[in-house]
Structures are given as C-alpha cells and as structure tokens.
Amino acid sequence: MKKLLKFLKPYKKETALGPFFKLFEALLELFVPLVIAEIIDVGIVRGEEGKGYILSMMLLLVALGAVGLIFSVTAQFFAAKASVGFVTGIRKALFAHIGKLSYNQLDKAGSATLVTRMTSDVNQVQTGMNLALRLLLRSPFVVFGAMIMAFTIDKKISLIFLVMILLLSVVVFGVMSITMPLHKKVQSSLDTLTHATRENLSGVRVIRAFCKEDEEETSFNEKNDLYARMERFTGRISALTNPITFIVVNFSIAVLIWKGALRVSVGTLSQGEVVALYNYMSQILVELVKLANLIVTISKALASSSRISEMLSVPESSSEGEEYTGGGSVEFKNVSFKYEGAGDLSLKNISFRAEKGDTVGIIGGTGDGKTTLVNLISGFYSVTDGQVLVGEKNIEQYSRKSLLSKMGIVPQKALLFSGTIRENMKWSDPNATDEEIFSALEKAEAKGFVLEKEGGLDFRLEQGGKNLSGGQRQRLTVARALVGNPDILILDDSSSALDYLTDRNMRKSISALEYNPTVFIVSQRASSVMHADKIIVLDDGAAVGQGTHRELLENCQVYREIYNTQFREEEE
C-alpha cells in the first residue's frame, strides 16, 4: 500500500479535511449522552418547572444533530473526491505501466490477471480508501472518547469499558490477520475465473463449432464454484467479527446496568449518569461494529493494493537509448531465442543480412519460429544469444519509440480498433492527410471497398473490425503500416485471407514503393515469397536454407517440399 500512497499527494487537502470533519461530527456525538443526562437529572427532576429546561435541551440536541449532519456530508464529499482521484491516478499509472512491459512480461502475467487488477482490485482499493478516510479515525476516536467521557462520570465503573475495548481489539485484529492472506487467494481465484470467461467469449465460435458447450460450461462451473467456496470461507471468518462484538458489548452493557443500579441505590450515581454511561456503551457498540466491517473492507483493499503494487514493481522494458535515424539494413548474428518457461529454443543460431530495399521472405511450417523471428526485429522480445543489428547498430542501443516509429508492422492477427477508418489509418502518422491515406489504401488493395462504405474514411469500425471481412481487415492493417512510410516493413502472414490475385497485386505495389523500405514477408505460401530477393527457410527454429527461389529449389529439400506440395511440382 505504501507504494500507492504517492497517488494521494495531489489530494492532500481532501485527505486531511475528510477525517477532520468526521472528527468534529464525532465530537458533537459525544456530547449527546451528557445532554440526555441533564434532561433526566435536572429537567425531569424539577417536574412542571423543568419543562422549559427540557425543551431547551431538546433544541440543543436538534442543533447538534443538524451541525453533525453538515459535517458528515462535508466529510463524505472530501473522502469521495480523494478516493476517486486516488484510484484514477492508480488506473492511469497501471495502464501506462502495462503498455511499457515487454512481451515476455505480458506473457508471464497473462491478460486475465491484468484485467482483474485494473478493475476488481482497483475498485476494492477505492472502497477501502473511502471508508478509511471516513471511519478509520472516527470510530477509534468515538470509542476512546466515549471511554474517557465515561471516566469523567465514574472512574471505577468505567473499568468495564477498558476491559471490553481490550477484548474487542483482540477479536478485530485476530480476524484481520487471518482474512488478509485469504483475500489474496480469493483475488487470485478471480484471475482464473476471468481468464476462463475471456477465453470462452473470444473462442465462442470454435466452442460451438466443436459442440463443446457442455464441457466448457462444466469447466467454468468448477472454477466458479471454487471461487465461491473460497469467498464463502473467507466471508464466514470475517462474519465472526459482528456476533463476537455484539456478545462482548451486550455482556458489558448488562454488567454496566447491574453495577450502575447498585451505585444508584447507594447514591453515588444519578439515574441520568447511568443512562449517559449506557449511551456511551451503545455508541461504542455501534462504532465497533462499523470498525469491524471497516477492517474486513480494509483487509480486502490491502490485499488488492499488494497485487497492484506487485504489478507496478515489474520492471518496464527500457525505452531509453539513441534515436534511430534510419538506414533500413537488418542483420542477425548467431541469434538464438527461448521463450520464458519454455523447454527448448524457438530460434537456433540464425544469421543473415538484409540491405535497405531488400525483400526478405520467411517461410516454414507452423511453429517453426517465423513470427518469433520478426518479433526480434521490432524489439518486442530480447534475444537469448547473439545480436540483432538495425542500421548497423545493436537494436538494444536504440530508443524503442524511435525505432518503432520507423517500422511498419502488420501482425499475424489483423486487429483494428473501434473508431473510423481514418482514425485507424492515422496510428502510423497522426498528421497524415486524406491523400496519403488513400495512397496507402490503394497500395494495399483496400481503396475500392473503403470508397464503397458509407462515409468512406468516416465509416465507423466496431471493436476489432468485426463489421468487416477477414480479407478487408488484413488489407486495412497493411495500409495502416504503409501510411507512415516506414524504413522497415514487416508483413507477418498478412495475406492469409486474400486470394492469390489480390495478394500478388499488393506485393507488386509494395515492391514499387518510392521510399524503398526493407520488407520482411512471413508466409506459409511459396507464392508469397518466391519473388523475394532472399528467402529464409525455417525448420524447427533453425535456418535450413537461405537464397533465392531458384537456389532453394536446387539446394534446400524443405523448401522444395513446400513448393512441390503447393504447386504440384509445376515450376515457372
């Protein structure tokens, strides 16, 4: 929690004023039993003559209540403002931090736990902070204030208050020490449930295609039941606080009335003072019940804040370094790579060089490391061994932002964001004109269908571009990469949903680009890479062949098998 408190700094005033007004309200509440004692011991004792005094005391009670209400509402305003501002800062920092993590770190954390920490955990912290600002000082203040006021009435009988508070402190902090680690486990179980939900929603078509609804429902119910059992178990322990509190306080009230009655009978206490002591005991009961519930909420908030702090403590991938000024050449020197937690290398001792303007094809079977290789060019992962050079310098020397600003990347999964086509196209260059956008769309064979859409560039895309076909999404992602006139263009299986003619025309337009980028084409189709200046053939993470199409047909058995399978041994 300490790491998160820095986000409260902009709200120092609200953080101080919230508890301050609550303490004033509590102070007024402590005077109420004394006023009631005065009504009994003075007003009622006087009989008819005391009616005026009783009325004046009742007006004083109303005034205390009204002023207390004003203080309470004011305190609630400041507490809400501070807690909402506090978690707003946390959300911004957490979202920005997640965006700066490397692919390795994101893979390790998993999207489910990131979503839970951004939503459920942050909400728990907000609730805990709000209640803490309102009650964390007020409740103990009332408890100890009531005890002190009781001592001013009768020191000996007030020892009951002291014993009661000590017993309840043991109960409250005992429950807190047990439930805090349990709340962490509950939130971890929620991560698993969130992951299952996300996986089912994103894969609903596949689940239905294979008629796996019943199996997935059973699996989800098991995870949901586990989460429910853990939540119930933790809740039962937390729920013990209230009944134990009531037992201790009510037993103390019974002892108080018994002892008070004895002292009234011998004349050492008045009836009004006994009633005042009873009221103070009732105030302590109410506040301790509030405090018990507050402890449960704070336990959850502390567990959630610990999870958020853990994520914020994950080191960001370095964004500092030299500015990449261009060049376009790419060289791999004995590069090997292994994913974190993987048993074997995904890439093994890869070496090649691509000069500016070259077109490099990367081909191989599924799982042979094609996407992994191009992800190393963009710096999304750091190599395990060897070096990746871009523009004659190690990629680690460059500022990640400056390097990626000169790259056009079309990922394997064509992903578009909700918004207009124009907004999506400007991701590469925020200052791109409509003319530049249409030029990129034309080269990506996308201009025709964009013009047919209602509004053209103002046509609104749904999340993920779900209101477009797969081929249209792929062409728009290619156009988006071309808008920025990149030095290095990476096309990761970007034509899998395109017909051969559209694919050929798009590759032809890209090869004729005036700014002459270095192009990497990842594909399982021989037809997509056969005209490249250099083709790299991957097999189980190793480069088993490099060269032109004709050279590989003669010298590389793996490439020849791929080609013959797809073209039925027909050669150009």
Q: What are phi and psi of 423, to 5 degrees?
A: -60, -40
State the amino acid at position 286 in one-letter form: V
pLDDT tens, position by position, 388-406: 999 888 988 888 888 888 8
Residues 352 and 361: their CA atoms lie apart, in Å, by 12
State how beta strands 359-364 and 393-394 pair.
unpaired
State how beta strands 460-461 and 419-420 pair.
antiparallel
Contact 245, 168 (CB under 8 A): yes
Mean pLDDT estimate for the chain: 85
Q: For the chain, what percent of residues have pLDDT higher than 90?
A: 22
Helix axes 500-511, 434-443, angle to 10 degrees: 130
pLDDT tens, position by position, 473-525: 999 999 999 998 899 999 988 877 788 888 888 888 988 888 899 999 998 88
Q: What is the pLDDT of residue 1?
A: 65
Q: What is the pLDDT of residue 568?
A: 59
Q: What is the pLDDT of residue 299?
A: 78
Lowest mean pLDDT among 76-90, 193-207, 372-386: 193-207
Contact 166, 99 (CB under 8 A): no
Q: Write out the two tokens for 289.
A: 């019940």
pLDDT tens, position by position, 435-450: 999 999 999 999 989 9
Q: With bands split at pLDDT 50, 70 and 90, how would you rate the model's confidence at 8?
A: confident
List the domains of the chain with CATH numbers.
12-313 (1.20.1560.10), 411-485 (3.40.50.300)
State the amino acid at position 178 in one-letter form: I
Q: Write out the two tokens for 501.
A: 């003619």
Residues 103 and 432: their CA atoms lie apart, in Å, by 29
**Which residues face 536 on adjacent strands?**
362, 546
Residues 377 and 521: their CA atoms lie apart, in Å, by 13
Residues 158 and 143: their CA atoms lie apart, in Å, by 13
Q: What is the pLDDT of residue 114?
A: 83
**Which residues face 331 on adjacent strands?**
353, 389
Name residues whose C-beta falls within 8 Å of residue 434's C-beta, 6 or more positions apart in sequence.
422, 457
Lowest mean pLDDT among 99-103, 141-145, 315-319, 442-446: 315-319
Q: With bands split at pLDDT 50, 70 and 90, how would you rate the model's confidence at 207?
A: confident
pLDDT at 343 over 80: no
Global pTM?
Answer: 0.68
Buried b or exposed e, range 356-394, using 16+ CB within 10 angstroms:
eebbbbbbbeeebbbbbbbbbbbbbbebeebebbbbeee
Residue 442 burial (10 A CB sphere; 0-12, 13-18, 19+)? middle
